[in-house]
Amino acid sequence: MSSVQSQQEQLSQSDPSPSPNSCSSFELIDMDAGSLYEPVSPHWFYCKIIDSKETWIPFNSEDSQQLEEAYSSGKDCNGRVVPTDGGRYDVHLGERMRYAVYWDELASEVRRCTWFYKGDKDNKYVPYSESFSQVLEETYMLAVTLDEWKKKLESPNREIIILHNPKLMVHYQPVAGSDDWGSTPTEQGRPRTVKRGVENISVDIHCVNDFRSVSLNLLQTHFKKAQENQQIGRVEFLPVNWHSPLHSTGVDVDLQRITLPSINRLRHFTNDTILDVFFYNSPTYCQTIVDTVASEMNRIYTLFLQRNPDFKGGVSIAGHSLGSLILFDILTNQKDSLGDIDSEKDSLNIVMDQGDTPTLEEDLKKLQLSEFFDIFEKEKVDKEALALCTDQDLQEMGIPLGPRKKILNYFSTRKNSMGIKRPTPQPASGANIPKESEFCSSSNTRNGDYLDVGIGQVSVKYPRLIYKPEIFFAFGSPIGMFLTVRGLKRIDPNYRFPTCKGFFNIYHPFDPVAYRIEPMVVPGVEFEPMLIPHHKGRKRMHLELREGLTRMSMDLKNNLLGSLRMAWKSFTRAPYPALQASETAEETEAEPESTSEKPSDVNTEETSVAVKEEVLPINVGMLNGGQRIDYVLQEKPIESFNEYLFALQSHLCYWESEDTVLLVLKEIYQTQGIFLDQPLQ
């Protein structure tokens, strides 16, 4: 008991100044030490779990001010909801919890913060609880008013906080004394800095450099004039989550049982990402994926309009990897006219794109086989199941030979002709443009018919989107590969999405999943994709250096060959004037032929470089409204050392790429007549 009493007596006494050794481990805070007390200015934070560790992130100044005004309004906080982060999150003030609006995410704790201490490892400030911060503030107020310092407090977690003076306040982690029972904390160990208020703590910089934050930074640097003139608002980015519902079916557990234990990370990447490709080509999961994507897109759009009733802007969509292929298939199977879609915006139900598809009963009536409908209904056979039935299946159901042949022929013809033709604008007179039936050619066509963009895909009912996207951006997309595997060899230059005007295929040069689109529109011409400018202008230095060295080597090569050619002529020239004159005439006639034979392989690369620089106009069809479709990013200098090393990383680079974000912003704002402050070179 004596040790406990001595510790309690020590706790009640004022603490002497810390030793020089302990002082060296914390910083001195520059604070006004005046005798007049000024209340602390609070700031609001929220807590996120990052790598299994709590991290407190400040709200931006605008959101924090709105939360503080709601808190200080004098009204009951219970039931008060404050939208934050541009409306993407709602803060329930009474609960002190932050909830995502448009997607599923774990709720995070919210705290009104005034006092902080520095963390152990990352040196980030951690806020005290609101109740203990109030105790600290009251103690600080008394110390300033009475000019009595060296106050010692114990937190609910048994941490020791000592207020030596306004410039020196420290925090000790609890260290148990010699007696395990009833022991009291001591100020042993390394002290940590205690801070009052958020001064010198950055509250406007997010810790995650994602697509949204990159776009906000680029607005300040590339669209400053339009912002100052209030011509534009910011672009909101809302994610569409379809991956989680697909992997919640239990198939992941089944796969884990058969996955080999070696190269664990690569196998996890394969199971988690590449597996979705097989899902999408499976009749079991393809319909689920398409329905989930379309329903989420419609739900998010409807919810956004409900929360932003004055919104008058357009909507563009972006898909990464397999997501871009899913969007491509959905857009391809939309209707040209949305009809009464405006009246359906408030409904979360998906309108299935079935058109005027007749029912099974109507099909049988058309074939004059209505008497067999009861048999199919009894066997629970619908149109999709009947289309999969064989002659033997129908025979086992008791269908006679004649009706069997009629049914099999009808559904076989219907399956082959599904979606072949699609209306298209008539070409100008005299233009040599393929008909719409030549949207693509295939080796398995017959009787001059051509298959549509959806060939090779499993039978899917594509839902209808309740809005018309302005632009479709595809990042790291395998669309070209999938269309080729499905049997497409050529895309009709007249083809365009029924409800979307623009299409950009954006990829990193080392992305192993990305494929081009333009060669499918113009198969007979070889040309480079459009090089996306660096967001600071010009090309990256290593690319300019590489092209400069290429041009220099070609010039040296051509000059050397020219000098050798002239030297050879001088050695082989005849000494007699008559022969010299006739030989010169022969040389002038033969020179074009010889130059067209030998130096051609020398000039080929030089010509290609010149073509790159001049960017000759190329007709790539109407899929992007007559504009170029394929856009390639510039690799970073370190990436050019080893393409294979950065292959997987390049497939994920788009969300943090300033060049990608700037291209997206530029194209979106151009639809509203807004352009960059200064065009990029």
Cβ–Cβ < 8 Å for 46, 63? no
Q: 574 φ, ψ to 5°?
A: -70, 145
Q: How far is CA 609 from CA 205, 331, 529, 569, 595, in A?
A: 42, 36, 13, 30, 20
Q: Give the model's pLDDT for residue 633.
A: 92
Task: Give me the sign of the Cα torsion angle 281, 285, 291, 293.
Answer: negative
pLDDT single digits (tens) 76-126:
888 899 999 989 999 999 999 999 999 888 999 999 999 999 877 667 889
Q: Give the model's pLDDT for residue 64.
A: 94
**Strand 502-507 with 630-632, pairing:** parallel
Cβ–Cβ < 8 Å for 600, 592? no
Catalytic residues: 321
Residue 228 burial (10 A CB sphere; 0-12, 13-18, 19+): exposed
- CA–CA distance, 379 with 664 (Å, rounded to integer): 53
Beta bridge partners of 608: none
Q: Give the model's pLDDT for residue 118.
A: 86
Cβ–Cβ < 8 Å for 208, 194? no
- CA–CA distance, 303 with 299 (Å, rounded to integer): 6
pLDDT single digits (tens) 613-657:
445 578 899 999 999 999 999 887 665 656 666 667 788 889 888
Q: Give the model's pLDDT for residue 407.
A: 86
Q: Give the model's pLDDT for residue 123.
A: 74
- CA–CA distance, 138 with 39 (Å, rounded to integer): 10
Q: Give the model's pLDDT for residue 185.
A: 56
pTM of full prediction above 0.85: no
* CA-based nearest residue to 483, from 531, 439, 417, 524: 439
Tell me the one-letter amino acid at 430.
G
- Cα atoms found within 13 Å of the Cα of residue 385, Cβ hemisphere only: 9
DSSP 17: P
- CA–CA distance, 329 with 503 (Å, rounded to integer): 13
Tell me the one-letter amino acid at 623.
L
CA 586 to chain centre: 65
Q: Residue ranges of the chain with pLDDT lower than 70? A: 1-35, 121-122, 175-188, 202-209, 248-249, 337-357, 413-458, 538-558, 560-564, 566-616, 637-647, 680-681
